[in-house]
């Protein structure tokens, strides 16, 4: 029985050591396997083209990143399960970034950065946090942690998810329109699926309060960039902070880079730590071997 690792050499070394310590009887291969029949588990970012035919005994594919939207699911046979990366560091970093971005939107940072570039000293009015309605789309591992991180600031918090949720002190919605109507700052932490692709579009922006702000942390393909630019132009949206774009990297001449009320960061809200990622995969292989629930197993029909 063996694991095949298909990411960078530096990460491979960390994973190799973690497997040698925790599961010495499992062979660890980097790049290719001497006998593909031995491979039970693959750790990778994308699914190799020949995955279905080359590894007849494959059981699990572990994503090396937090999402699984990058996989071409048609390359992964239905009997093979898919596991996303769960790493406490990813959530902690997302908590930091989302807090920073929410405060930046709340305190009009894009406006003041634009004024600074022009040497313009002009103070606007500060709004108390209790009067700012913040809405988090996606109440999973990350969205729910972000809500907890935002609680101490006293924002009026709401969340939106597919299935009903209960979070103390937070209004939870499954009705998107009602949720949008009360979101002065909208944070997107949805996974990319057939349902969420293009969800941040003109129709959605039209349902937000006038002058709302967007923080996009999910995946670039969820945002219709031209609709965002139009909403900024019309004043429907006041500003946006984007950590994810489509494509990535964002081309140097893309208007989003140069818009005075948009802040773009290069998909750095959270980064997977090789050590924590290796611990997660080792735990997944152990659970698989002992027939227990595998942490991070996704529902292939839902797509997340």
* Residue 192 near ligand NDP by CB under 6 A: yes
* Residue 269 near ligand NDP by CB under 6 A: yes
Contacts of 125 (CB under 8 A, 6+ apart): none
* Residue 248 near ligand NDP by CB under 6 A: no
* Residue 67 near ligand NDP by CB under 6 A: yes
Which of these is catalytic: 11, 106, 219, 261? 219
Nearer to ligand NDP, 36 or 135 (CB): 135
Active site residue 219: yes
With CB under 6 A as the contact rule, which of the stretches 30-38, 111-119, 184-192, 287-295 interacts with ligand NDP?
184-192
Task: Give which of 245, 252, 183 is closest to 216, Cα–Cα.
Answer: 245
Residue 2 Cβ vs ligand NDP, minimum distance, rounded to whole Å = 28
Query: Could you say which of 63, 81, 183, 196 contacts ligand NDP (CB under 6 A)?
Result: 196
Give the Å distances, CA to CA, from 50 to 9, 27, 36, 132, 278. 21, 21, 11, 51, 25
* Residue 87 near ligand NDP by CB under 6 A: no
Query: Could you say which of 270, 274, 282, 288 contacts ligand NDP (CB under 6 A)?
Result: 270
Query: Could you say which of 267, 275, 276, 283 contacts ligand NDP (CB under 6 A)?
Result: 267
Its sign, for the CA torsion 99, 102, 108, 113, is positive
Give the Å distances, CA to CA, from 13 to 35, 209, 301. 20, 50, 34
The CA distance from 141 to 220, in Å, is 19
Residue 24 Cβ vs ligand NDP, minimum distance, rounded to whole Å = 31
Residue 266 Cβ vs ligand NDP, minimum distance, rounded to whole Å = 10
* Residue 95 near ligand NDP by CB under 6 A: no
Active site residue 107: no
Nearer to ligand NDP, 60 or 199 (CB): 199
Active site members: 219, 267
Would you tell me which residues interact with ligand NDP (CB under 6 A)? 66-67, 90, 94, 138-143, 161-163, 189-193, 195-196, 217-219, 243-244, 267, 269-270, 304
């Amino acid at each position: 029985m063996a694991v095949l690792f298909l990411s960078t050499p530096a990460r491979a070394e960390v994973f190799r050591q973690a497997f040698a310590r925790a599961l010495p009887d499992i062979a660890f291969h980097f790049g290719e396997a001497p006998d593909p029949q031995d491979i039970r588990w693959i750790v990778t970012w994308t699914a190799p083209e020949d995955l279905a035919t080359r590894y007849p005994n494959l059981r699990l594919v572990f994503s090396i990143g937090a999402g699984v939207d990058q996989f071409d699911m048609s390359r992964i046979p239905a009997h093979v399960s898919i596991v996303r990366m769960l790493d406490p560091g990813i959530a902690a970093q997302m908590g930091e970034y989302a807090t920073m971005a929410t405060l930046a939107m709340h305190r009009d940072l894009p406006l003041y950065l634009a004024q600074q570039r022009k040497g313009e000293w002009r103070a606007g009015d500060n709004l108390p946090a209790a009067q700012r309605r913040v809405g988090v789309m996606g109440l999973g591992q990350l969205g729910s942690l972000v809500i907890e991180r935002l609680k101490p600031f006293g924002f009026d918090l709401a969340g939106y998810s597919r299935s009903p949720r209960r979070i103390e002190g937070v209004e939870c919605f499954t009705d998107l329109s009602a949720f949008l109507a009360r979101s002065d700052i909208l944070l997107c932490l949805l996974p990319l699926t057939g349902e969420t692709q293009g969800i941040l579009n003109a129709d959605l922006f039209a349902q937000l309060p006038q002058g709302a702000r967007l923080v996009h942390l999910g995946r670039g393909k969820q945002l219709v960039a031209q609709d965002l630019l139009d909403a900024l132009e019309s004043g429907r949206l006041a500003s946006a902070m984007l950590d994810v774009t489509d494509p990535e990297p964002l081309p140097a001449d893309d208007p989003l880079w140069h818009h005075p009320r948009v802040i773009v960061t290069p998909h750095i809200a959270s980064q997977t730590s090789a050590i924590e990622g290796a611990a997660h995969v080792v735990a997944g292989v152990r659970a698989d071997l002992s027939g227990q629930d595998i942490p991070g197993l996704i529902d292939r029909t839902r797509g997340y």
